[in-house]
Amino acid sequence: MEIPEIMSSTTTRSQAITDIIQSVAYEQAALAHIINAEGEKLQKAVFLENNSTAVLLTNNSIKKIISAATLLEIVLLNKLELFKDFLCPEPEPSIPVENVKITIIPPDLGRVVTKKDNQHFTIGKQNATTEAGSCLIELAPDYPLSLVSAPIGVSLSGSILTIDYSVVSSGQIILTTGVDECEMQVFIEFFQSNE
């Protein structure tokens, strides 16, 4: 007789924990079916039997099954208790982005921000005195920003948006922020006027 070869598993740790929890759920469903069948058995015995002795014998049989099911419930509870510290935390509910602000840095370079709504902004530059201008984008709550699309010459570092007017004088910037169902895009049109 050969010694069986045990192969290493490719199952991840999180998948193994999920499988164990799922097995507990299957056992719970099976116990529910057994308890339901025992209830139906008692109803049938009460309906068919004419003497109380037969009903009491059926009842005692059902009590044994319920006791065994109770012991199995305790085993299943202990099985779940082993993994309660390894479960993923519940995600916090997402909060919509309520107030987007764009502030010019520094505030005196002939640039003006116009807010149309919480997602649409315009940055107008009235003169060509500086080659690059930066803006601080403030969000409530403080979600991270990502640059989805922008012309060459536009960059985002954290919440600081920089437009290099020596490279590009107008265009559209699309940013994304928020989480899950509260994710949203912010659209910024920018232009330079040489008047």
Mean pLDDT of the chain: 83
Q: Is the pLDDT higher at 165 or at 190?
A: 190
How do residues 40-95 score in pLDDT, each as one tens digit?
888 888 888 777 788 888 888 889 988 898 898 998 888 888 877 776 666 667 78
Rounded CA-CA distance 191/128 in Å is: 11
pLDDT at position 47, please? 81
Q: pTM to 2 decimals? A: 0.51
111 CB-near residues (< 8 Å, 6+ apart): 104, 123, 124, 125, 126, 133
**CA distances to 73, 89, 90, 137 from 105, in Å:** 64, 39, 39, 10
Locate 14 and state its tokens: 């999180």
Neighbour count for residue 154 (Cβ, 10 Å): 19
Which residues lie across from 154 on neighbouring strands? 163
pLDDT, one tens digit per residue, over 11-55 is 787 788 888 888 889 999 999 999 999 888 888 888 887 777 888
